[in-house]
Amino acid sequence: MSALTRRLLLERLGAAGGLGAAMLGLRAMGVAWGAAPSPLPALPAGHGVGRKVIVLGAGLAGMVAALELRKAGYAVTVLEATDRAGGRCRTLRTGDVVTETSGATQRVALSPGLYFNPGPARIPHFHASLLRYCREFGVPLEPFINENRAALVQDDAAFAGAPRTLREVQANLRGVVAEIAAKGLARGAMDGAVTVEELERLRDLLRRFGALDRDLAWRGDLRAGAAVWPGAGDAAPEAPPPLDLHQLLRADFWAYNTQHAEEIDQAATMLQVSGGVDRIAAAFAERLREVIVTGAEVTRLRRTETGARVAWRDRTTDTARAEDAHAVVVTLPGPILAELDADISAAKRDALRELLYMPAGKLAFEAPRFWEEQGIYGGISWTSRDSTQVWYPSSGFHASRGVLLGAYIWDEAPGRRFAARDPAGREAAVRADLAVLHPGVDPLLQSAVSVAWGEMPFQKGAWGEYTAAQRGTIYRAIHRAEPPYVFAGEHCSWLPGWMEGAVLSAHAAVAAIATNR
């Protein structure tokens, strides 16, 4: 194709306004696009005609599998034990009810327009498969502020337990590390590895990296915030002094909190769904209305000559049901599948029993937006206490009220402590932690609602948490197909706990069904 022809074609495609067309054109011409979008199962349209698949679980993984299988002509039924599709992809609004295994019940009482995502809430920008569905379904997205330098970090072990701003800690960490590196250069750490000219560049790099003085020492900088903020006229800004190194070393800030937004899963741009993450689930459920059966608690799974028989209990009528299928997509959370009456392998069952399904939890309040009065617009504060993370809303700025996520807890021990309390006990514990980050605001916090995923019926945990070693031992047994059963869900991916992991695992499951035909 000549350059001119190419140009004309692209102009036409671009002018038509269809990005898809223009992008396809560019790709067809060999233009490179960085990370390739993840492959959709490319099954011919009639591939599944005459074949029946039962999907266990109407969470994201199950609904993605069902949608793609139907596109390929399969007859599909999705069995969902709870009374709603979406699984952990859920948003709570006023009037919603949360009932735990213990029977403890909370009725959500948030002001109109306010909501709380107790499960997944964030979409990293490289989660291309989930984002493709969002685009296709018109699910509105907006930025999620995952790092805000005005937010706080607090560690009971350092700085007398007082919170510091993230900007101050980040600037001091860069300053300290760069200064030590400069001392290393002075002691010949890079002699021989770089030329004399490069060594000079390296010194300049360190100076700029850490905001060091001319003599390569960290003596504080406005990056850390201001002792006197810049103003008009004679109001020149003044940087705060450096933090005490001994205190900084005592703090565990730098173990994870300050590196959080550097990690691939957490780095900018982070996105969220405008109006609540369950819009994603709703978009799938809308397209699968005829095939999702809610209140269907799977009770037994057995191979047959032509596939498998799935038995379930209709929870609404308390009647036993059963249906045969050529294949079954099993997306049940690990702790549920581990105890199901099913002819899966002992290896898979043992692996599932070993896997920690994280007892993570969240607790939200409604409050007037006091944090914005402190210059905190979205983002996350951290505490060394059980509450771990506090999230400020990334949208609706300057509205009179908002939802403050008072705690997002995901380590095992604090997660279990959180889950062990009743909702009132959790609220009291989170209020106590918040008082350390935001003294005096306690009376402003209202309408608490909490979800401890380990206590949720048919879920019993937030996600499969693999150790590095377990990726080499139990992981394969958990995700591999045992025809006619194929397995999906975030725990069958390298992105556990993320919606993208559920989506990609579903695509893999669909591909496995096609392969195993």
* Residues within window 358-417 making contact with a copy of itself, judged by CB under 8 A: 367-370, 373-379, 394-395, 397-398, 400-401
Closest CA to 120 of 506, 502, 507: 502
Distance from chain centroid for Cα 340? 27
Q: Does 458 bind a copy of itself (CB under 8 A)?
A: no
Q: Does 318 bind a copy of itself (CB under 8 A)?
A: no
- CA 420, CA 168: separation in Å to the nearest integer? 36
Q: What is the arrangement of strands in the sheet containing 361-368, beginning at the earlier edge strand?
A: 164-165, 152-154, 379-383, 389-392, 401-409, 361-368, 446-452
CB-based contact 352:359 (threshold 8 Å): no
Among 40, 75, 205, 347, binds a copy of itself (CB under 8 A): 205
CB-based contact 141:151 (threshold 8 Å): no
Q: Does 223 bind a copy of itself (CB under 8 A)?
A: yes
* Residue number with CB closer to a copy of itself (304 or 397): 397
Size of interface with a copy of itself, in residues (CB under 8 A)? 132
Query: Which region, judged by CB under 8 A, interacts with a copy of itself, from 27-35, 114-122, 335-343, 354-362?
Result: 27-35
Among 107, 113, 201, 473, binds a copy of itself (CB under 8 A): 201
> Which residues 6+ apart lie within 8 Å of 291 measured at CB?
66, 70, 76, 77, 78
Residue 465 beta carbon to a copy of itself: minimum distance, rounded to whole angstroms: 15
Q: Does 322 bind a copy of itself (CB under 8 A)?
A: no
CB-based contact 368:398 (threshold 8 Å): no
Q: Is 156 exposed, middle or buried (0-12, 13-18, 19+ CB in 10 A)?
A: middle
Q: Does 429 bind a copy of itself (CB under 8 A)?
A: no
Residue 304 beta carbon to a copy of itself: minimum distance, rounded to whole angstroms: 26
* Residue number with CB closer to a copy of itself (452 or 503): 503
| Residue with the two structure tokens 């045969």 | 324
Encoded tokens for 403: 């939802």
Encoded tokens for 505: 């695992």
- Footprint of a copy of itself on 256-285 (CB under 8 A): 256, 259, 262-264, 267-269, 271
**Residues of 285-312 as b/e, b for ≥16 C-beta within 10 angstroms?**
beebeebbbbbbbbeebebeeebbbbeb
CB-based contact 491:471 (threshold 8 Å): no
Among 384, 493, 497, 499, binds a copy of itself (CB under 8 A): 493
Q: Does 65 bind a copy of itself (CB under 8 A)?
A: no
Q: Does 468 bind a copy of itself (CB under 8 A)?
A: no
- CA 125, CA 143: separation in Å to the nearest integer? 10
Q: Does 290 bind a copy of itself (CB under 8 A)?
A: no
- CA 497, CA 196: separation in Å to the nearest integer? 48
Neighbours of 186 (CB within 10 A): 10
Distance from chain centroid for Cα 151? 20
CB-based contact 373:398 (threshold 8 Å): no
* Residue number with CB closer to a copy of itself (316 or 345): 345
Q: Does 49 bind a copy of itself (CB under 8 A)?
A: no
Residue 343 beta carbon to a copy of itself: minimum distance, rounded to whole angstroms: 22
* Residue number with CB closer to a copy of itself (85 or 376): 376
Among 50, 246, 289, 319, binds a copy of itself (CB under 8 A): 246
Among 232, 289, 346, 469, binds a copy of itself (CB under 8 A): 232
- Footprint of a copy of itself on 328-357 (CB under 8 A): none
Among 28, 31, 42, 413, binds a copy of itself (CB under 8 A): 31
- Footprint of a copy of itself on 106-145 (CB under 8 A): 125-126, 128, 131, 134-135, 138, 140-143, 145
- CA 478, CA 461: separation in Å to the nearest integer? 16
Residues in contact with a copy of itself, shown as a per-residue x/- string from 155 to 184 under the rule CB under 8 A:
----------x-x--xx-xx--xx-xxxxx
Q: Does 255 bind a copy of itself (CB under 8 A)?
A: yes
Look at the alpha carbons of 298, 300, 303, 304 in this order and tell me if their dihedral is positive or negative.
negative
Among 28, 49, 249, 413, binds a copy of itself (CB under 8 A): 249
